[in-house]
Structure 1
Amino acid sequence: MSGSRTGAGHVVVIGAGIAGLAAAHRLLERGARVTVMEASDRVGGKLLPGEIAGARVDLGAESLLARRPEAVALAREAGLADRLQPPATATASLWTRGALRPMPKGHVMGVPGTASALAGVLSDEGLARIERDADLPRTEVGDDVAVGEYVAARLGHEVVDRLVEPLLGGVYAGDAYRLSMRSAVPQLFQAARTHTSLTEAVREIQSRAATAQQTGPVFMGIQGGVGTLPLAVAESVRARGGEILTGTPVTDLRRAAPPGRQGSDGPAAGGTGAASGEPGHAASQPAAGPTHALWRVVAGGRLLAADAVIVSVPAPAAAALLRAEAPAAAAELAAVEYASMALVTLAYRRAETRLPAGSGFLVPPVDGRTIKASTFASQKWGWIGDENPGLVVVRTSVGRYGETEILGRDDAELVEVSRQDLKAATGLDATPVEARVTRWDGGLPQYPVGHHARVARVREHVAELPGLAVCGAVYDGVGVPACIASAYAAVDQIHGDLRAVRQLTAHPVQSLHGGAGE
């Protein structure tokens, strides 16, 4: 992007997760003055760096989908180019039917192109059911359909229960029989609209991918953890003159009178918002580019005047902020449901630990285990093993949509059930030198059938208010690249360019968040 002054004057970004920080970064490139307001005491949202037994680790999302450009490009722009690293191993397993089994290849989010692709994971009956797909009449998908419902109708429930569920669960912590195919697996939805046979549709997707000859790793990590990405972006934002205020929840968001019509209570009344922190600066300087109706933002006892606002917070918080000026959008966002989960990070002495080869494993819910996945972090990310040769770091995750009992247990219980499941899956029976539990309450928005239509309605209502845009995981995908793409579209929107927003709304970004076992 050009550094020419084409910005929208003073822009307030509400929320300092990766989407909000990416928006701020892009706004500064375009010449805007930026203030980022974050309710919590840190930046980064679901990206969280941490330590266990002296080892640097991620306590949130741990990898970036590299087949989409946004996240890797932003890491490079933030000065992390020399720390980008692919996984040391991409070989994962499924813990199902009493054994660790190699993760099948030749599928699209668990949906195979041929029955043979799932040999060893499915029963003979399950494999035979896949073969019937070619002879079945067309299954209409309409405007949207649940992934599990459609796949089960074509290929049988065993495909969904043994493979689609754990793969989607690793991304959304959701229920495949509720999740929208249009939003969660958009390329499969598009193919299903034009093919009678689902396996044939998958083979066509695979053929197109082979023709495109995508090279390089599917996922990428960062030495020191993906959680260092938002810290680097925040540092870059500040270095460019942006202001980031943590521990500063926004309590009110309203439109103000247009420029030239405000009275004594207008933007100069206590508003700063500028990086310099000079009182009245936001009102005393002319905005660059066309100025829309001003916004008034109340946060932490401060009143800021803004020419534009980007709301980059989870749906419940966004609903509260938008209720006064965009009540219809707020009502849609208030209806969005979230799944909670917890990550259990365990550190073992290497001399006492032996793990199977590979990056980890996923667990189908149908098998009745407590954990839903495990990542052998020291094996998946070479930098962890290199920095800590005497340690082995393992992560497990627990909690899916609708599961409340397991997350009600205390940390010690979550550690114990994780150890029991790890022992059953891998034979690991050592005592960890340290364990950490990180809880992500309401961490992952759910994309049920019709989610794309809800997002379209939210954006339609928001677009009626000049100088306002929304972005984040609730809209176009929960992955880091998807959140960044959403942020860039929001920046375009407040500059009057709706093309990216329309493109994302019509064609959601499929982007994995890099959950355990991938």
Structure 2
Amino acid sequence: MTSYLVVGGGVAGLTAADELLRRDPTAEVTLLEGSDRVGGKIRAGAVAGVSVDVGAEAVLARRPEALELMEHAGLGGQVVHPTGASAQIWSRGRLHRVPPRTLMGVPADPGTLTGLLTDDEVDRVRHETPGVRPGPDEDVSVGELVGSRLGRAVVDRLVEPLLGGVYAGSADLLSAATALPGLLAAARTGEPLLAAVDRVVPAGGGTQAPAPRPVFATLAGGLHRLPAALAGSLESRGARVVLGTVARELHRRPDGGWEVVTGPRPRPTSYLADRVVLAVPAAPAARLLRPVSPEAAGLLGEVETASMAVVTLAYGSRELGELQGSGFLVPPVDGRTVKASTFSAAKWDWVREAGRGAGPDGQDLTLLRVSVGRHREEATLQVPDADLVAVCRSELAAALGRDLPSPVDAHVQRWGGGLPQHAVGHQDRIARVRAALASVPGLAACGAAFDGVGIQACIASARRAVEDLG
């Protein structure tokens, strides 16, 4: 019987443990998680007594990984999709609907940008220039790729807000190979970006056309239900899930197996296994890897992160009034503190129903969330929770163009260093990490620092790590 240690109980670690048992139901699998819960950036919080997501809230429905994992956890029948309310961009003091048929802000039809961009800016997009043409293995920043061809306004007013919502990162630093691989591939062949988006983003059909598949999905009751269900599934199949156990050291044993040291230095605890999967963020992974793979440790130690906070607000529905759309994104160029807001009760039916009658004296509540924090702007978050709530309330009122009542309750969830930044050349860096680890038998690593920050990318990286173990 082969024994495994999975270090880290986020979605990547849970997936790795699940995959190990799916491949070998007789395997001895132990998962070590440093905190008091599994789930990583998927987390629940109570706001006015209502349990909602205060971290990741949705998965991509057009990729199979996350939906498959929900099936593995026994939750496949509880997948739900957004209501269809439209997202908006708060730009130049006005809310604008996100233009249709865009790919991470890059449009298929420049005419749809009228209003969000000035006439001159739209004209610049319409007359796309050749711009940069990267070589077959060359990476460039998203800002350089898009800005050199369509003009800076598309980067500032469309691409940046969407990147901020996904990566909390800057278009001028983020890798096009990671964030816009399809458009980078098109640029390498000389295809115009407008034509590439027109090719890959389907146009709306007539009245008889089938409805497009939803882009996003979650679970009724919240995505935070997934980690606990996965942990329960693992334990029912014989795995051990050990919480409150921080891995301090990783050692190769003389017999070829592995030792993970946890606990306080005066009274350490050792866990032994034949093979190890590291599913922790880049910084702790680098620390653990330093004695056994200095090259991989050094490369992972170069990955920068962004910190952010999610502020969830509960309002009395009658006092708040109606909200239009599913929320809004904010271009950094406008100098706002808030980077996005999700009108959760308008976006998800389950949130609206959870707020029904949940307030004082049985009043209906409307729950929404506001995101703060971008890469290299950590000073924004270095204020008390009350100040974060105040600025979110103020900018939310400015975006909506009206005074808002006092919230019934507020919740602040901080994610320090929560989002790894996939800078230009990141894919080459990760390829070198994997090559270095391949020379260390019985060891693999995965997580958001590898192939993408989305849940589906974390799942894919975990499955690849298990495959790499052989």
Query: TM tier, shorter chain?
Result: over 0.9
> In structure 2, what is the equivalent of residue 275 of structure 1?
none
Q: 1:337: how far off? A: 0.3
Matched, 1:411 2:385: yes
Q: How does 1:355-434 map to 2 (within 5 A)?
A: 355-389=322-356, 390-426=364-400, 427-434=402-409
Separation of aligned partners in 2, 1:112 and 1:175: 19
Q: Retained in 1: the 8 A contact 2:132–2:144? A: no
CA distance in 1, matches of 2:340, 2:248: 38
Q: Which residue of 1 aligns with 2:90?
A: 95
TM-score by length of 1: 0.84
1:74-223 alignment runs, 5 A limit: 74-133=69-128, 136-137=129-130, 139-142=132-135, 143-206=138-201, 215-223=212-220
Q: What do the CA deviations read for 1:434-454 (whole angstroms, capped 9, x no partner)?
A: 011110000000011000110
2:254 to 231, 252, 257: 257
Listed as ranges, the matches of 1:25-36 within 5 Å are: 25-31=18-24, 32-36=27-31
Partner of 2:360: none
Report what 1:350 is aligned to.
317
> Would the aligned equivalents of 2:101 and 2:202 in 1 still touch at CA under 8 Å?
no
Within-5 A mapping of 1:224-243: 224-243=221-240
Tell whether the 8 Å contact from 2:14 to 2:231 is kept in structure 1 after alignment.
yes
Change (3 A) 1:308 1:208: farther
Counterpart contact for 2:131–2:148, Cα < 8 Å: no
Distance 1:336 1:475 in 2: 10
Q: Aligned pair in 2 of structure 1 residues 487, 214: CA closer, same or farther (>3 Å)?
A: farther
Matches within 5 A, 1:433-512: 433-495=408-470
Query: Unaligned stretches of 5+ in structure 2?
Result: 357-363
Contact kept? 2:164, 2:374, Cα under 8 Å: yes
Deviation at 1:456, TM superposition (A): 0.5
- Residue of 42, 46, 56 corresponding to 1:61: 56
Q: Quick one: distance in 1 between partners of 2:387 and 2:112?
A: 37
Deviates more, 1:70-79 or 1:159-168: 70-79
Counterpart of 1:344 in 2: which secondary structure?
Answer: strand
Deviation readout 1:307-365 (Å, 9 max, x if unpaired): 11000000000000000010000000111100000111000111111243221110111
How much has 1:197 moved relative to structure 2? 2.1
Alpha-carbon separation, structure 2, partners of 1:420 and 1:152:
32
Taking the aligned partners of 1:425 and 1:163, their CA distance within structure 2 comes to 17
Give the whole-Å Cα distance in 1 for the aligned partners of 2:317 and 2:212. Answer: 34
1:223 positional shift: 1.5
CA spacing shift, 1:139–1:465, aligned 2, 3 Å: same
Shift of 1:251: 1.4
Q: Which amino acid aligns with 1:81?
A: G
Give me the whole-angstrom Cα distance separating, in 1, the residues matched to 2:375 and 2:204: 31
TM-score (norm 2): 0.93
Distance 1:462 1:348, change over 3 A: same
Which AA in structure 1 matches 2:253? A
SS at match of 2:170: coil
Separation (CA, whole Å) in 2 of partners of 1:30 and 1:453: 29
Question: Does the Cα contact within 8 Å between 1:14 and 1:310 map onto a contact in 2?
Answer: yes
Query: What is the aligned partner in structure 2 of residue 512 from structure 1?
Result: none
Aligned counterparts, 1:272-311, within 5 A: 293-300=256-263, 301-311=268-278
Tell me the distance in 2 between the aligned counterparts of 1:238 and 1:209. 46
**In 2: Cα distance, 1:234 partner to 1:159 partner:** 43
Q: 1:149 deviation in Å?
A: 1.4
In 2, Cα distance between the equivalents of 1:334 and 1:446?
Answer: 12
Q: Which amino acid aligns with 1:17?
A: G
Partner of 1:290: none
What residue is the counterpart of 1:5 in the other structure?
none
SS at match of 2:201: helix
Question: 8 Å contact 2:99–2:113 — kept in the other structure?
Answer: yes
Name the CA shift for 1:208/1:418 in 2 (closer, same or farther; >3 Å): closer
Distance 1:103 1:328, change over 3 A: same
- Distance of 2:292 and 2:430 partners within structure 1: 18
Maintained 8 Å contact 2:131/2:145: no
Indicate if the aligned counterparts of 1:138 and 1:196 stay in contact, CA closer than 8 A. no
State the shift of 1:207 in Å.
Answer: 5.6
Aligned residues: 450
Identity among equivalent pairs (%): 49
Amino acid at match of 2:143: G
Q: Please say if residues 195 and 201 of structure 1, whose CA atoms lie closer than 8 Å, have aligned partners that are also in contact.
A: no
* Aligned CA distance change for structure 1 residues 477 and 85 (closer, same or farther; 3 Å): same
SS of the counterpart of 1:475?
A: coil
After TM superposition, give the deviation of residue 204 of structure 1 in Å.
Answer: 2.4
The yes-or-no answer on 1:24 pairing with 2:21 is no
Shift of 1:205: 2.4
- Cα distance, 1:241 vs. partner? 0.7
- 1:146–1:177: 8 Å Cα contact kept in structure 2? yes
Measure the CA separation in 2 of the matches of 1:73 and 1:452: 25
Q: CA deviation at 1:139?
A: 2.2
Tell me if structure 2 keeps the 8 A contact 1:422–1:428: no
User: Which position in structure 2 is the counterpart of 1:4?
Assistant: none
* Distance in 2 of aligned mates of 1:428 and 1:346: 15
Amino acid at match of 1:409: V
